[in-house]
Amino acid sequence: MNDVLIKFILSAGTLLIVFGIAGLLTWVERKQSALMQDRIGANRATIFGFKAMGLFHIFADVLKMLSKEEFIPEGANKFLFNLAPYLSITFALVGFAAIPIGGELVLNGHAIQLQAANLNIALIYIFAMMSMGIYGVVLAGFSSNNNYAFLGGIRGAAQMISYEITMAAAITGVIMVFNTLDLQMLDRAQGAYMFGGWIPKWGVFVQPLSFLLFLTAAAAETKRIPFDLPEGESEIIGYFVEYSGMKFGMFFMADLVETVLVAALMTTLFLGGWQVPYLHPDGFYFPWGGHMALSNLPVVILGVLSFFIKVSFFIWTLMAVRWTFPRFRYDQLMNLGWKILLPASLVNIAITAVVIIFLR
């Protein structure tokens, strides 16, 4: 099979999966909040009398946004106003190109890496795309000719600068331990074991402080409660206050896609990505000496399932945080980023360096 065709199929498949998960999250968020608040949740949308636990609300949302009038406020910069939502959703999506969703699939003697773009600097690429996404937020606030929207855009830019520095500093410890920026190589490196072969060498075990710092900074990167200062409904309404119809839907979808992206990144960096404990390319090797042989296809399928189960866990965690904690004040947000998280990440780098030197 042609390599270009394989990459196209992987890219298209990844986009379809991401869109499907992001769309499903509109239902998951409602149902999870309802469960936590002892409510029924979304259950009004029906088709021929069937409610399907409220799943039809996903299609109702899409139809509502497609049928709503798109409004451009007087005095707005029409070009930038229309461009902003496309920038937000595009840069949120392209980051998935470097996320490995599985190991190596062998078909007819041809090895296929389950990763749309196998980059040796994948981490730098993903952080670059996440940083570019802020242009959509800033341009939406700037072009709307609305002071509240402009304030939301400024808050979004300040929050991105504050917390992406912490995110980069937090993963530096992981890079130092595994000595690679290639996420596929990093996943394979986490396939080693510690303590007599019982504990996998996942990032969460070798860099626990880095994991906690990255989890907090990643929650802030998604601009969701308790870090939703750019779109605080009770204060400034948000950078997308003047948007309606599907352009508003694109901003809403971009937030959910970013949630999936940071969950996939945390899975890759700290939970071994597609790695399954004790599963090797030719089957299971258990620490007590047992062995169960498997062919390539079952191993790959188990790896892909493992990846998406871990991603689902992190999405659930971010959703639970969103419905548990109140919003920070803006000064608290800045203090947390600059005075607590960033110094802690620098301390983690220093400790990691000392440990690596002494273990050599």
The Cα–Cα gap between 219 and 325 comes to 12
Backbone angles phi, psi at 69, to 5 degrees: -70, 135
What are the tokens at 26? 């509109």
pLDDT for 7: 76
Mean of the per-residue pLDDT values of the chain: 88
- 176 near 352, Cβ under 8 Å? yes
Q: How far apart are the first and last CA of the chain?
A: 44
What are the tokens at 179? 């000595």
Q: Higher pLDDT residue, 174 or 50?
A: 174
- 42 near 31, Cβ under 8 Å? yes
Backbone angles phi, psi at 100, to 5 degrees: -80, 125
pLDDT tens digits for 149-172? 998 898 888 988 889 899 999 999
- 58 near 27, Cβ under 8 Å? yes
pLDDT for 12: 85
pLDDT tens digits for 241-287? 899 888 989 998 888 999 999 999 999 999 999 999 999 888 888 88
Percent residues over pLDDT 90 in the chain: 35
Single-letter amino acid code for the residue at 279: L
> What is the bridge-based pairing of β-strands 104-107 and 110-113?
antiparallel
pLDDT for 237: 75
- The DSSP 8-state label assigned to residue 97 in this structure reads G
The Cα–Cα gap between 81 and 77 comes to 6
The Cα–Cα gap between 257 and 319 comes to 13
pLDDT tens digits for 201-225? 999 999 999 999 999 998 888 888 8
Task: Parse the chain into domains and list their residue ranges.
Answer: 71-359
The reply to whether omega before 343 is within 30° of 0 (cis) is: no
pLDDT tens digits for 57-78? 888 888 888 888 888 888 889 9
pLDDT for 131: 87
Single-letter amino acid code for the residue at 230: P
Percent residues over pLDDT 70 in the chain: 99
| Cβ-based neighbours of 12, under 8 Å, separated by 6 or more | none
How does residue 360 score in pLDDT terms, banded at 50, 70 and 90?
confident
- 231 near 220, Cβ under 8 Å? no
pLDDT tens digits for 312-338? 999 999 988 888 888 888 889 899 999
Q: Is the pTM of this model over 0.85?
A: yes
pLDDT at 134 over 90: no
The Cα–Cα gap between 43 and 300 comes to 37
Q: How far is CA 296 from CA 6, 272, 274, in A?
A: 18, 19, 14
Q: How far is CA 70 from CA 126, 247, 248, 249, 335, in A?
A: 32, 8, 9, 11, 38
Per-residue pLDDT averaged across 96-112, rounded?
85
How does residue 1 score in pLDDT terms, banded at 50, 70 and 90?
low
